Each structure stands twice: as structure tokens, then as C-alpha cells.
Amino acid sequence: MQRRRFLAATGGLAALWAGAPLLAACGTEKAEATEARADVPRADGGSGDARAFAGASTMLGWELYTFLGGREPGNIFLSPYSIAAAMAMVTAGARGESASQLHAVLHTDALGENLHPAYNALDHALAASSPKDGVTPFELATANSAWAQAGFAFERAYLETLARYYGAGVHLADFERRTEAARTAVNDWVEDRTKDRIKDLLPKGSVDALTRLVLVNAIYFKADWLSPFAKESTAPGPFTTLAGQRKDVPMMHQTASFAYAKGNGLEALELPYAGNAVSMVVLLPAAGALKDVELRLAADAATLMAGVKSTRAVVTLPKWEFTSSFALKDAFTTLGARDPFNPALADFSGMDGKRDLYVSDVFHKAFVRVDEKGTEAAAATGAVVGATSAPVDPPVQFTVDRPFVFLIRHRESGAVLFAGRVTDPA
């Protein structure tokens, strides 16, 4: 029997493709525009453990950061939240050893079937963090969707899980006969949900006639700093890249009180965004120590953030903007999720009642821009199957003139929404 494929993709948004029978096509030639939904309402967020999912996705994020950072020499940026969300939708259809391996890699063993209510609780918490007054300069939005081959039958229980906990309807597509049109439809959906920041999440060749399902999660974030940098204070300043090259780049400046900590060759400064629900944490290693620090980032970052205190700081920070994209199959198989990507071993019978699906790859793409006003970030993931106090001491000099790590986190849950490394802001 020829095994069908599915794909997962993230990047401000995430997507998963699967190859199994779904729903009967109720569309015409433009089937990819038709959406079907399981007849169940979206669950409220009160029954799940948001912090549990936040902690698990953050651990996964650091492991992916370490894997990718060891292979990529330059800037990297990813959304742990988006990747975890897409893979949670994949896990909902996994059974047997495939499910066990996915739970282990996602750090959700203890959650089991409570994984989905936990994700739903965090997603509701993120939605509640974004002001609805239309005035506060802050936006945080997430979205999930599924794209399935018209006429392919999926298990009702699986579709109900997607609808109840992920708010995902199923868009009917024709991967068999109109492969490029279906791929374009998914990419257009992603582009729309990320305000045009994530384009072409699914590259050419990522789907084919055997693709049966694509699950997508999208996340978009745009916020002003609580304490913005004055544009007139920005001026060229030196930055020494990872390669040791000294460059003059636009450097932003301000003096204010921020949460700050220092220890074990690493400094941490927290820059809150308007509304105080989300913040950026800049992790600055000692000169030449980036590689050593990255090996213990997860533990050191948590320790430093637990010990931060309000400190008067003179902050010098570069501006940066870039996009990262990754195929994550190698990362997931290296971390231990081998069977889900193996056509002979994968078990996604929770999707279609058969063992005829496997994950062909996981795609992730993320964009970030940081300037005097604030930050804009977006990401998408897809899996193809087929406070202030008066100063007492002199201010801390926090000068980011060398490679550094940064993360954008939801303060209440601790969820790391985005994480990255800047080795060259130019």
C-alpha cells in the first residue's frame, strides 16, 4: 500500500499536512476555499493547565534553538509556541509508539490527553492578553486551521478535537489534481493571518498528490515598548559579530528602570511592552562566550529571570530585522520522534482509523523587527504527513554590542512565544 503524507508547518503560524481520507468534498473546483467544521463548540479555557503547556513548549523551544543554533552560523528566530501548537495537533491523531515519542519530544508525557485542554487554556490566555479597546498599541493573535484532501475520510473524534480545543475548521483542498493551487491556498491563509509577514511557508515540492492533510498554527505579535526609545537618540555604534567583524550599526539608547540580573557569564534585561502582558528578555553573554552560554541557556535563563530586580540601566541596543525558515524533520527525529516520520512505522490511526499516514516534514518560518517604537513578530509551522523604583546605586551599563539571545514571553504563563539569536544585526 502506498503511504500518504502529511506536513506540519509553523512560523508565527504553524501547519500540518496529512495524507488520509477526510471529509466528503462538498465543494466544486475551488474546493480549497470550502471550510467544514465539526459540530462542536470551542471549549472555554477553564479546564486546562496553561502553564503546563507553556512550560513544555518552552523546553521544546530551547532544544530546537540548540539544535538549529549548532547548524546555523548566523541569526536565528523561531516560535516555540507555534511549533508546539502544530505538533500538538499532530499528536492528537497519533497512537502507540508514535504518540509516545511525540509526547516525549514535546515534554507532554505527564499531560497525556490533557495536552489539548492545556493548549486551549494557553491560547485563551494569550487572546485575553491582547487589549480589545482599539487604543492600546498591542496585538497578539493566534489561529489554527486544517487543510484536507476533499473526499478523504477522517475520524470524527479527531475532527472534533481540532474544533473543540484548537478552533480549527477543515478547508477542503484538491492536492491530487490541483497541488499548486492547494499549496498556494494554504500559503495565502498564512500570509493573511500574519499581516503579510510570513510568505510562502510551504515551499515548492512540499506537498504532492499524496498529501492528505495540512494543520496550520499562526501567531502574530506587534507591540510598542512600555518605555520606547527616542528616535533622535539612535546613532551608529560598534557591534562585533560572531565572526569577529566590527560593524557600525544603528544603536538605540535610553536610561530607565528595568528588571535586570547578572550571573554565570550572562546578563539579562527585561523590556516590557505596552500593557505589561508580554516582554522581551535580552540575554547578553560575556564577550566571546555565546557558544558556551548557549549550551546551558535553558537553565541559566530560568535562574536569571527568577532573580531579576528593578535596576536603573543605561541601555544600548541595536535595531534588527530578519526572517528565518527551517525544515524541522531532522531536528524532531534527532530529539527522538523517529517513528512519526517513518512510513513503515508511523501510527496516525487516530486520524483516519488506518496506519496509512506519516509526517513527511515540518516547516517553520518566522519574522522579527525591533526598532525604537517596539517589536513586530510573526511565525508559522507546518507538518506534512505524506516594575520601577528610585535609583540608589549607579546605573547598570547594558550595552548590547556583541552577539546575544532574545526571547519574547507571555509574563503570566511564562510561555516563550518567540526566541532568537542575533549574531549580526546588519
- Are residues 286 and 250 both part of a single domain? yes
- Condensed to tens digits (0 to 9), the pLDDT of residues 109-130 reads 999 999 999 999 999 999 998 8
- Condensed to tens digits (0 to 9), the pLDDT of residues 277-300 reads 999 999 999 999 999 888 888 888
- Are residues 305 and 355 both part of a single domain? no
**pLDDT for residue 21:** 33
Rg, C-alpha atoms of the chain: 22
Higher model confidence: residue 403 or residue 19? Answer: 403
Residue 290's alpha-carbon distances to 41, 69, 418, in angstroms, are 47, 11, 19
- Are residues 361 and 415 both part of a single domain? no
Q: What is the DSSP letter of 329?
A: H
**pLDDT for residue 389:** 33
Strand stretches in 277-414, DSSP E: 278-285, 309-318, 320-327, 357-370, 374-385, 396-399, 404-410
Cell digits for 368? 522579527
Higher model confidence: residue 32 or residue 377? Answer: 377
**pLDDT for residue 89:** 96
254 φ/ψ angles, rounded to the nearest 5 degrees: -165, 155
Number of Cβ within a 10 Å radius of residue 15: 38
- Are residues 141 and 8 both part of a single domain? yes
- Are residues 19 and 69 both part of a single domain? yes
Tell me the three state secondary structure of residue 176.
Answer: coil
Residue 348's alpha-carbon distances to 91, 259, 386, in angstroms, are 8, 46, 12
Residue 9's alpha-carbon distances to 202, 240, 288, 385, in angstroms, are 7, 34, 34, 11
- Are residues 218 and 327 both part of a single domain? yes
Contact 136, 4 (CB under 8 A): no
**pLDDT for residue 72:** 86
| Contact residues for 240 (Cβ-Cβ < 8 A; gap 6+) | 246, 247, 287, 401, 402
DSSP string covering 335-372, please? HT--GGG-TTT---HHHHSSS-EEEEEEEEEEEEEE-S
**pLDDT for residue 298:** 81
Q: Using CA atoms, how far apart are residues 284 and 287, in angstroms rounded to an integer? A: 9
Angle at 362 between CA 61 and CA 418, to 5 degrees: 30
Cell digits for 329? 524533520
Q: Which CATH number fits the domain that encloses residue 191?
A: 3.30.497.10
Tell me the three state secondary structure of residue 172.
Answer: strand
Contact 337, 329 (CB under 8 A): no
Tell me the three state secondary structure of residue 328.
Answer: coil
**pLDDT for residue 17:** 38
- Are residues 153 and 20 both part of a single domain? yes
Partners of 142 in the beta sheet? 219
- Are residues 66 and 160 both part of a single domain? yes
- Are residues 299 and 330 both part of a single domain? no
**pLDDT for residue 25:** 35
Q: Which CATH number fits the domain that encloses residue 417?
A: 2.30.39.10
- Are residues 68 and 163 both part of a single domain? yes
Closest C-alpha among 203, 240, 205, 396 to residue 313: 396
Tell me the three state secondary structure of residue 402.
Answer: coil
For the chain, the first-to-last Cα distance in angstroms comes to 51
**pLDDT for residue 15:** 40
Amino acid identity at 318? P
The whole domain housing 407 covers: 231-318+389-422
- Are residues 271 and 172 both part of a single domain? no
Domain total for the chain? 2
* Mean pLDDT computed over 153-166: 93
Q: Residue 390: pLDDT band by 50, 70, 90 thresholds?
A: very low
**pLDDT for residue 36:** 66
Q: Minimum mean pLDDT among 26-30, 213-217, 348-352: which range?
A: 26-30
Closest C-alpha among 113, 10, 121 to residue 61: 10
* Mean pLDDT computed over 393-409: 93
Q: Residue 386: pLDDT band by 50, 70, 90 thresholds?
A: low
Q: Is the pLDDT of residue 165 over 70?
A: yes
* Mean pLDDT computed over 380-407: 76
pTM of the model: 0.91
- Are residues 64 and 131 both part of a single domain? yes
Q: Is the pLDDT of residue 106 over 90?
A: yes
Closest C-alpha among 19, 329, 14 to residue 168: 14
Q: Using DSSP bridges, classify how beta strands 357-370 and 416-422 pair: parallel, antiparallel or unpaired.
A: unpaired
Q: What is the DSSP letter of 72?
A: -
